[in-house]
Structure 1
Amino acid sequence: MNSDRERTPIPVVSCVGRSNSGKTTVLEHLIAELRRRRHRIAVVKHYHRSDVEFDVPGKDSWRFAQTGAEQVILAAQDRVIHIRRCEQAPTLAEVVGEIRDVDLILVEGYKGAAVPKIEVNRRARDPELVCVGDEMLIAVVSDQCFDLDVPQFDLADAAGLADLVEAHYLGERQRR
């Protein structure tokens, strides 16, 4: 990374929509397309419950966390897993502040955050959008059309969505 990019905040784009609307699938395809274009991507998944576990009960790292360690970092040959205990749910800004060395941060959820949003909608789930009137809405991905002044994409159009994200948030200078 050059020094200019280190000082430039990493762009953040959130994928929002109702439960089971296809947000994860849209993000999977968008990530694959952006990776194909050689961009480095981080993903933040907003989870509304507090019972999430990423560790294996009985393993050393799990035991350290159960004993009360505030942070446990598991360092392997091909990845680092960092688990940090929180007294309250972190804001998106706090989570994003911990991310380094990527070109773009994609978020699933955090509908109320003041970041650009792509709404995923399926007619069978809900005929209405959840982000109507949200100035941060930059695109809709759906199996239906809406009377809006933002680009709209079919659920299967990962390349078109990647073109939009690349043009607005990545640009040619960040392509590897």
Structure 2
Amino acid sequence: MKKRRLAVAFTGPSNSGKTTLIEKIAKLLIKEYKVAIIKNDPKDKAKFDIEGKDSYKFFQTGAEVVVTSPTRTTYFSHRKKSLEDIIDMVNDFDILLVEGLKTLPLPRIAVFRNSLDESYLGYIEAIATDESVDKNSIPENIDILDLNNPNQVIEWIFKNAKEV
């Protein structure tokens, strides 16, 4: 029997609290589940290695690079991967949390602090926010979650995440 795996995505403006929320959720879920996280880096600004180290030198050749140790495996790729490619690579997880990648067909939680960006409303199912956002401007078909209550967000994930 194929194991049930769930995926959900988080979206929102820069510095809205997406990473913090995902981190809190992952720390709670990891106690009972295998959790995988995909983070989108749309501006290609993340730094993963240190110039001069072997893995950096290998990656600079243009090759696909895997660094393995007794405690972790790191994969550096020059090729864009689809969600299916990444799921196949990670493979062994119960819950996949995706930050960004708004084109992926996944149930999506938008994270807002201070103000609501209505441009997100067309492709989200829930909003995680704090008291600073006017909830009256949120359409009725969108669930409202407390940004400071990761357990409530986890409950929503188990009810609404997509099986992958």
Which range, TM-score by smaller chain?
0.7 to 0.9
Partner of 2:107: 116
Identical residues among aligned pairs (%): 25
Distance change in 2, residues 1:4/1:27 (3 Å): same
- Cα deviation for residue 47 of structure 1 reads 0.2
For structure 2, the residue ranges without an aligned partner over 5 or more in a row are: none
Partner of 1:48: 42
Partner of 2:120: 131
Q: Give me the whole-angstrom Cα distance separating, in 1, the residues matched to 2:81 and 2:36.
A: 17
Size of the aligned set, in residue pairs, is: 158
- Within the candidate set 117, 123, 127, 1:140 is matched to 127
Q: Secondary structure at the match of 2:156?
A: helix
Q: Give me the whole-angstrom Cα distance separating, in 1, the residues matched to 2:7 and 2:126.
A: 14
Give the letter aligned to residue 99 of structure 1.
V
CA contact (8 A) 2:127 2:145 kept: yes
- 1:21-59 per-position Cα deviation (integer Å, ceiling 9, x unaligned): 1111111111122223x0111111100133543122212
Q: Give me the whole-angstrom Cα distance separating, in 1, the residues matched to 2:153 and 2:92.
A: 23
CA contact (8 A) 1:35 1:41 kept: yes
Give the letter aligned to residue 64 of structure 2.
Q
CA contact (8 A) 1:64 1:72 kept: yes
Q: Is 1:161 matched with 2:153?
A: yes
- Within the candidate set 4, 12, 36, 2:2 is matched to 4
Root-mean-square deviation over aligned CA pairs? 2.2
Distance change in 2, residues 1:14/1:157 (3 Å): same
Partner of 1:22: 17
Matches within 5 A, 1:70-85: 70-85=63-78
Q: Give me the whole-angstrom Cα distance separating, in 2, the residues matched to 1:141 and 1:20.
A: 14
Q: Give me the whole-angstrom Cα distance separating, in 1, the residues matched to 2:62 and 2:117.
A: 45
Q: Give me the whole-angstrom Cα distance separating, in 2, the residues matched to 1:93 and 1:41.
A: 16
How high is the TM-score relative to the length of structure 1?
0.79
Q: Give me the whole-angstrom Cα distance separating, in 2, the residues matched to 1:140 and 1:150.
A: 7
Q: Give me the whole-angstrom Cα distance separating, in 1, the residues matched to 2:17 and 2:118.
A: 14
Partner of 1:174: none
Give the letter aligned to residue 46 of structure 1.
N
Q: Give me the whole-angstrom Cα distance separating, in 2, the residues matched to 1:51 and 1:32.
A: 25
